[in-house]
Amino acid sequence: MRAAFVLGFLAFLALVVFAHAPLLGAGLFAWDYAELFGERSLASLWSTLVSVPLFGLPAPGANALAWRLESLLLLLALAAAARLVLVRVLEPWIGLQPARAAALVAAILLPLHPAAPVACAELAGLPELFALLLALLATALFLRGRQTENDAFTSASLVLLVLASAASAVALLFSAGLASLEYACVRRHRKRALRLRTAATTALVFG
């Protein structure tokens, strides 16, 4: 079983490298430098404080492998967070093991999607990716907290969602989504009126 897991993981990494190979071999684009030295966005702050000290700033046209790997790791983290969310969303409907299997397949396919390299190709897109990662983690914590009646996880999800919203407005979409997930995936055995009430409360608190 362990050997099969290792082989599967190595095959997945090989596919990811193959899918992102053209981008991994590219340097920074002109608009990437504009992002770094322009407005103080999340991407420029992160790059100034972390990426430049760690990797150095590549000259125009020079290889920027470390920077590209950084973006790719963020994409893989996003896929892992999506898996956590899908397990929580699907478990009440199809059971734990099928939910885990379906979520794993989705997480594997996400970084292999043809649009995935485009999503992490530019530094200007990092705020959206980072916000999406935080929002997915917030959603996973919210569902875990509500499904297990653990207020600590629910409170932590609110903090993460606020941070995600500060990074990018794309996270605001998750505020409305949490109310729908509260209704559809949290204690489905309850009466509809009670689920609607808790969903409305979620919309007020997280909206």
What digits encode the pLDDT tens for the residues 41-57?
665 566 666 677 777 77
Gap between the Cα atoms of 199 and 178, Å rounded:
8
**Does residue 109 have a pLDDT over 90?**
yes
pLDDT score for 174: 84
Do 121 and 23 touch, CB atoms closer than 8 A? yes
Q: What is the mean pLDDT of the chain?
A: 85
Tell me the domain boundaries of the chain: 1-26+63-121, 122-207
Between residues 54 and 159, the one the model is more confident about: 159
- Which residues 6+ apart lie within 8 Å of 62 measured at CB? 27
